[in-house]
Amino acid sequence: MASQDQTRFLLSENDLPKFWYNVLADMPTPPAPVLNPQTGAPVTPDFLSVLFPMPLIQQEVSTERYIEIPEEVREIYKLYRPTPLIRARRLEKALATPAHIYFKYEGVSPSGSHKPNTAIPQAFYNKISGTQALTTETGAGQWGSALAFAANFFDLPVEVYMVKVSYQQKPYRRVLMESYGAQVYASPTNRTQFGRQLLAQDPDNPGSLGIAISEAVEAAATSGGKKKYALGSVLNHVLTHQSVIGEEALKQMDLAGEYPDVVIGCVGGGSNFGGIAYPFLRENLRNGRNTRLLAVEPAATPSLTRGIYAFDYGDTARMAPIVKMHTLGHRFIPPKIHAGGLRYHGMAPSVSALYEAGLIEAVAVKQLATFEAALTFARTEGIVPAPESAHAIRAAIDEALQAKESGEKRVILFNLSGHGNFDLAAYEAYLNGQLEDYEYPAEAVQAALNELPAVHVSG
């Protein structure tokens, strides 16, 4: 039981999870098939093997509840895991709320976010499968930094296609990736056929995650088998690797002597939300718990709250597989908000299916309110959060204020998925009054949705 004034709840290396949790084992309905973008038929392992090594393909389709974490992966995890659970007592005091607010702090990883939780195993499985190099995309740069960090341990070269607007906004993320040995390119680039096509149409194209994915996929698919593609969110094996967050948090909430009424994560593709929320979802489904699970997205890229649940391409060039997900349409070009990691047009199929089933909730928050919450957190708890992570803080503060208004004690847990030390240009813009709220117009959403693929599959 926690002491009356305890703030940090720490686990030892011996408490590091030995298994990842795979939510597909407990999904209320079977997952929809993943489709070949050329034929519309269900993908085969041969098709996927152009992009991914076989161990990750097997994890992607597995319905085993628990997947053992290789010892080589656990040894690298020990550089920063288990991560701390911290009670935000000073934030509680500033809000004058009866709520207890806890956050799981993933910013202690060497690259500054939760992303190494999947980058390390992806690099490991690629290495043992004979992959010679990796390609990937990145938005804000957190995923690219994590993959560069992880691949370095396995002597795997990495080329990163970074969304151009983020490449310009976040130069030190690029420097960090290059420090780990990666090559970084502002997407769209002249390195791929698709990039050249887009630049011919619009030399000032700001890029998007969908475009960067297309370039990374093309670079891998045309390498003659030498390169594989690594993805930092959306797919099931990625969210499975991230479950170490929630598994640790369950133990740490036990140390705190409390259990969360609500678990919150920001959501772009779904990885950090799934990472913290899915183990608590398992407790809801299998052990009778009743924790609310809240995904928080930007109002500028509202795939859950304003997109539709449909089959869509995973990338703009329609090279990646077609999956059933909440989507704004693969042609969606997001506005230049500073939460670059949340600008994806779609959502993880598992998150989408759970939202559709009513097992998780979603809310969209605006950019200015998000930065306001970020500064409140920085000035009370001392950590400047990544703009992406600040979306979860905004929702946590709103939950705490609701508890204050109703006079109820509420236990709130959120995932602080990364620090904002490389995002100070965004804070400078906010402090100087240069940021604006942006809600994506309904007509633009509808125009993007008009180009969804025609798919004739039930489920």
Per the domain annotation, does 458 fall within a domain?
Answer: no
Strands (E) across 355-422 are located at 361-365, 411-416
The answer to whether the beta carbons of residues 34 and 322 sit under 8 Å apart is yes
- pLDDT average, residue stretch 296-314: 92
Reported as a single tens digit per residue, the pLDDT across 126-156 is 999 999 999 999 988 899 999 999 999 999 9
Asked whether the predicted pLDDT for residue 62 surpasses 80, the reply is yes
Same domain? For 297 and 371 the reply is: yes
pTM of the complete model? 0.95
Of 236, 251, 267, the position where a domain reaches its end is: 236
Of all residues in the chain, the percent with pLDDT exceeding 90 is: 79
Same domain? For 222 and 350 the reply is: no
Asked whether the predicted pLDDT for residue 459 surpasses 50, the reply is no
Q: What is the pLDDT of residue 120?
A: 98
Which run of H or E residues covers position 63? none
CATH number for 123: 3.40.50.1100
Of 205, 236, 267, the position where a domain reaches its end is: 236
Asked whether the predicted pLDDT for residue 109 surpasses 90, the reply is yes
Q: How confident is the model at residue 159 (pLDDT cuts 50, 70, 90)?
A: very high
Same domain? For 402 and 431 the reply is: yes
- pLDDT average, residue stretch 261-275: 96
Q: Which of 24-28, 73-77, 359-363, 444-448 has the lowest mean pLDDT?
A: 444-448
Asked whether the predicted pLDDT for residue 400 surpasses 90, the reply is yes
- Report the chain's mean pLDDT, rounded to a whole number: 93
Asked whether the predicted pLDDT for residue 458 surpasses 60, the reply is no
Q: What is the pLDDT of residue 321?
A: 87
Asked whether the predicted pLDDT for residue 225 surpasses 80, the reply is yes
Q: Which of 15-19, 87-91, 203-207, 314-318 has the lowest mean pLDDT?
A: 314-318
In total, how many domains does the chain have? 2
Higher pLDDT residue, 131 or 32? 131
- pLDDT average, residue stretch 216-225: 94
Q: How far is CA 248 from each of CA 104, 106, 165, 280, 293, rounded to the nearest angstrom?
A: 9, 11, 35, 11, 17
Same domain? For 144 and 169 the reply is: yes
- pLDDT average, residue stretch 95-119: 98
Torsion of CA 69, 75, 77, 81, to 10 degrees: 110
Q: How far is CA 384 from each of CA 17, 272, 422, 426, 454, rounded to the nearest angstrom?
A: 28, 18, 10, 11, 44
Same domain? For 27 and 103 the reply is: no
- pLDDT average, residue stretch 85-110: 98
Asked whether the predicted pLDDT for residue 337 surpasses 60, the reply is no
Same domain? For 53 and 137 the reply is: yes
Per the domain annotation, does 371 fall within a domain?
Answer: yes
Asked whether the predicted pLDDT for residue 445 surpasses 90, the reply is no
Same domain? For 165 and 249 the reply is: no
The answer to whether the beta carbons of residues 166 and 186 sit under 8 Å apart is no
Per the domain annotation, does 12 fall within a domain?
Answer: no
Q: What is the pLDDT of residue 438?
A: 80
DSSP 8-state class, residue 435: -
Of 208, 236, 264, the position where a domain reaches its end is: 236
Per the domain annotation, does 74 fall within a domain?
Answer: no
Per the domain annotation, does 11 fall within a domain?
Answer: no
Length of the chain measured in residues:
459
Residue 422 structural domain: 82-112+242-449
User: What CA–CA distance (Å, rounded) separates 447 from 12?
Assistant: 51
Asked whether the predicted pLDDT for residue 51 surpasses 50, the reply is yes
Per the domain annotation, does 14 fall within a domain?
Answer: no
Q: What is the pLDDT of residue 443?
A: 80
Asked whether the predicted pLDDT for residue 277 surpasses 50, the reply is yes
Strands (E) across 338-455 are located at 361-365, 411-416
Which run of H or E residues covers position 298? strand 292-298
Asked whether the predicted pLDDT for residue 334 surpasses 80, the reply is no
Same domain? For 344 and 260 the reply is: yes
Asked whether the predicted pLDDT for residue 67 surpasses 80, the reply is yes
Per the domain annotation, does 73 fall within a domain?
Answer: no
DSSP 8-state class, residue 362: E
Q: How confident is the model at residue 1 (pLDDT cuts 50, 70, 90)?
A: low
Buried b (16+ CB within 10 A) or exposed e, 330-352: bbbbbbbbbbbbbbbbbbbbbbb
Per the domain annotation, does 8 fall within a domain?
Answer: no
Higher pLDDT residue, 208 or 80? 80
Other CB atoms within a 10 A radius of the CB of residue 458 amount to 5
